[in-house]
């Protein structure tokens, strides 16, 4: 349904974000009582059935006929504006923000 010149933007959670890793670290140190990762907690309904990684999303998009124009991570609070230099470094270079964004277009036939 995407027009030939259309752009598809996909936003998904980042399983390898800094905040996710920090929460898991505190849980392992027993400084946090609960840590839930999708299906590991039967009492909790998972937020997502699948939490993709950058590699898996790039593979999925490529296999389904999309060219990735750009991808980056961002914080839930502010995806594009007023980011500090540190935040831009973490999100754009290290790619450890809490969400992933992929900007794609259909491959030319």
Domain coverage including residue 86? 7-106
The domain tally of the chain equals 1
Instruction: Say if 66 falls within a structural domain.
Output: yes
Tell me if 13 sits within 8 A of 98, measured CB to CB.
yes
Q: Is residue 55 part of a domain?
A: yes
Q: Is residue 2 part of a domain?
A: no
Closest CA to 16 of 77, 67, 91, 66: 91
- The pair phi, psi for residue 106, each rounded to 5°, is -65, 140
pLDDT value of position 43: 54
Specify if 41 maps to a domain. Answer: yes
In a domain, 61, yes or no: yes
What φ, ψ does residue 21 adopt, rounded to 5°? -65, -40
Task: Write the CA distances from 22 to 7, 18, 29, 68, integer angstroms.
Answer: 34, 6, 11, 29
The list of the chain residues with pLDDT below 70 reads 33-48, 76-83, 90-91
Three-state DSSP state, 66: strand
Let me know if residue 1 belongs to a domain: no
Residue 44 inside a domain? The answer is yes
């Amino acid at each position: 349904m995407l027009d030939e010149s259309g752009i598809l933007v996909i936003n998904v959670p980042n399983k390898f974000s800094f905040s996710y890793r920090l929460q898991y670290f505190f849980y392992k140190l027993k400084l946090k009582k609960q840590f839930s990762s999708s299906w590991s907690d039967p009492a909790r309904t998972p937020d997502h059935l699948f939490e993709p990684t950058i590699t898996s999303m790039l593979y999925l998009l490529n296999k389904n006929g999309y060219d990735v124009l750009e991808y980056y991570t961002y914080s839930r609070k502010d995806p594009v504006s007023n980011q500090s230099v540190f935040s831009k470094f973490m999100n754009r270079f290290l790619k450890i923000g809490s969400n992933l964004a992929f900007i794609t277009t259909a491959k030319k036939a």
